[in-house]
Amino acid sequence: MGATVELWSFQPLTRLAELEAHGELVGSWEHVPPSTGDAIARGYRAMTATMERAGVPTGGRPPVWAWGGRPVTVADAESLVGESLRHGWATIEFTAPAALAMATDYGAWNDYLAELFGTTGVVPTAWDVPTPIGRELVQVCLPVLRAEWVRQVHPLPRSAPD
């Protein structure tokens, strides 16, 4: 497999079932959340184009989002998932080929999305700069997550009803 990286992904249990049934999980435009002015889909298209420019083949699909740098926590899931965990989520721990893992600056990415929504008035210039995976939590985009890479799956505790 060559050089590898340890990663974590938060996935709904329905997507985990897809991974188990099909042996891989790929991004799908139907899973991109709807948004005002299609801002999130435009951001995902920009990320997909950046992955392609970096030599990470996407097949035209949006990325599978993951995290590297340090193990993730339930608190990370609660802040990153963006919806209630009560509908069933899991953390997937896996080791992926480094050549398929594109890490970028999560804070700058969020600033970029905010600009697509028209809320900041400033376009970040460095959201797509490759970011080394060190000891700090870093956003990682992959074209696929394969079942054979999975080391462990941890169901997340369900949130109390809102």
Q: What are the sequence ranges of the domains in the chain?
A: 4-155
Distance CA 106, CA 160 (A): 27
Distance CA 32, CA 60 (A): 13
Distance CA 113, CA 103 (A): 17
Burial class (CB in 10 A: 0-12, 13-18, 19+), 5: buried
Distance CA 156, CA 77 (A): 8
Question: What pLDDT is stored for residue 106 in this prediction?
Answer: 84
Give the predicted TM-score (pTM) of the model: 0.88
Tell me which residue of 34, 41, 39 sits closest to 114, measured CA to CA: 39
Write down the mean pLDDT value for the chain. Answer: 87
Confidence of residue 111 (pLDDT cuts 50, 70, 90): confident
**What would the pLDDT profile of 75-96 be if each residue is shown by its tens digit?**
888 887 766 777 789 999 999 9
Confidence of residue 162 (pLDDT cuts 50, 70, 90): very low
Confidence of residue 119 (pLDDT cuts 50, 70, 90): low
**Which H or E run contains 18?**
helix 13-22
